[in-house]
Amino acid sequence: MKKIALHWQILIALGLALIVGILVRQLPEGAQGLVLATFEFIGKIFLQALRMLIVPLIVSSIINGVSGIGTGEGVGRLGFKTLSYYVATTLFATIIGLSTVNLIRPGISNGLPVGELIGLSEDTAEVMEKIGHQDATQLVDIFLRMVPTNIVAAAANGEMLGLIVFSLLFGLAMTRLKGQHAEILSGFWHAIFYVMMRLTEWIMLFAPIGVFALVAKVVILTGLGALKPLFSLLFTVLLALGIHFFIVLPLLLKFVGGIRPIDHFKGMAPALLTAFSTSSSSATLPITMECLEKRAGLSNRMTSFVIPLGATVNMDGTALYESIVAMFIAQAYGIDLSITTQFTVVLLALLTSIGVAGIPSASLVAIVIILEAVGLPIEGVGLVLGIDRILDMCRTAVNVFSDTCGAVIIGHTEGEKPYVKP
């Protein structure tokens, strides 16, 4: 029997999860709880298996990527291109978000601010406690976190920014080594990296099961009814994400990268579907790298440099979401934001999206920072809780897609030919 391609397997798993999730909601509470616990367990194992790979994968791939470029000059050039791509696409995304939210005004319904119509979600207090007190000084923190005092603690606490900076410096220092030392170290990091990729392949075999469990769990917990009162916001975010995903990035692919967008969508399907169901760019990282190397034929050197950095730093979907939600909350409370304040929102969305971790719901923290900074009521976050999860799934897929577009586009400018069979 012919084996079904992985992305089809995952897609089928997604469809089944929707159906099973809705059916399980009809069960009596006890039985529902049992199924839910089982799905939670399976989903958790899948996520943990992916997370297990993150630290060694980020470190080994960045060190390999940077040291493999050869000279400090090469690293500088590639670094400049990569960062320019990140900033440009994130800025595009934020502007799309801001324009859409100003046009559709999802925070106003029949001339009334939505806040009055739906009231705040009940678990706002709980979330606020979880998020803790945030303010604009947290922005400075992003820069502080780039220089960890203890690299082992940074790894243990999942502080990726610090880990990335350390690995970049390590790789850069390696380019200065000569002779035997250079060979030993480069062989060592290469070997680690290949072992991590092999482990990724094994875990990917379980992706359809993991995806099924994770998505079914969300459907059982929230049902589809949770979406109704916030339909307009949902529509605004999806429209803006859609414009970025289906129009802006494909145009860049075609005209800057010389790549047929359809090839890239197909090639990246497993990574996109995993991002969608895990809501975590970091957890998806191993699969993203695997897809770029095996399906797009991008060099290991390019993938190792652009992707681990992108998974943490480049979050187009997140920046877009943050700016829409900040504006939505202003509208929902009947507050008009001046152009200058809206500009501040754009800037903060750009900066905070760099600091946001690639984990589920991480944006909520950044949104609180933005609300504080522009003087909006932070309780407003409660308004979006009901639909945050589903939007998280979509924005994470956009985050990951933008990383992969960056990798192939920059690869193209460096003389590589993704999707062209040798």
Positions in the binding site for ligand ASP (CB under 6 A): 279-281, 315, 318, 356, 358-363, 392, 395-396, 399
For ligand ASP, the closer of residues 75 and 350 by Cβ is: 350
CA separation for the pair 178, 175 (Å, rounded): 8
Minimum CB separation from ligand ASP for residue 388, in Å?
8
Q: Is 242 exposed, middle or buried (0-12, 13-18, 19+ CB in 10 A)?
A: middle
Min dist. Cβ of residue 315 to ligand ASP (A):
6
Closest approach, Cβ 288 to ligand ASP, in A, equals 11
In terms of CB distance, is 66 or 394 closer to ligand ASP?
394
Nearest-angstrom CA–CA distance, 33 and 39? 10
Please, what is the minimum distance in Å from the beta carbon of residue 354 to ligand ASP?
12
- Positive or negative: CA dihedral 316, 322, 327, 332: positive
Rank residues 21 and 358 by Cβ distance to ligand ASP and give the closer one. Answer: 358
Q: Which is nearer to ligand ASP, 101 or 362 (CB)?
A: 362
Of 239, 245, 233, the C-alpha closest to 89 is: 245
Residue 145 CB, nearest approach to ligand ASP (Å): 16
Residue with Cβ nearer ligand ASP (121 or 300): 121
Tell whether the torsion through CA atoms of 219, 221, 223 and 226 is positive or negative. Answer: negative
- CB nearer to ligand ASP: pick between 130 and 254: 130
Say if CB 284 and CB 275 are below 8 A apart.
Answer: yes
**Angle, alpha carbons 324-384-281 (nearest 5°):** 70
| Least distance to ligand ASP, CB of residue 396, Å | 4
| Contact yes or no for 89/406 (Cβ under 8 A) | yes
Q: Residues near 284 by Cβ (< 8 Å), separated by ≥ 6?
A: 50, 271, 274, 275, 278, 311, 358, 396, 400
Smaller CB separation from ligand ASP, 65 or 358: 358
Residue 333 CA to residue 302 CA, distance in Å, equals 46
Give the nearest distance from C-beta 15 to ligand ASP in angstroms.
22
Residue 177 C-beta: closest distance to ligand ASP, Å: 35
C-beta separation of 99 from 324 below 8 A = no
At closest approach, how far in Å is the CB of 241 from ligand ASP?
11
Decide: residue 226, CB within 10 A, 0-12 exposed, 13-18 middle, 19+ buried.
Answer: middle
Nearer to ligand ASP, 161 or 335 (CB): 161
- The residues, ordered by sequence, that sit 6+ positions from 49 with a Cβ below 8 Å of its Cβ are 203, 206
Nearer to ligand ASP, 155 or 237 (CB): 237
Q: Give the angle 169-175-180 at the CA atoms, nearest 5°.
A: 125
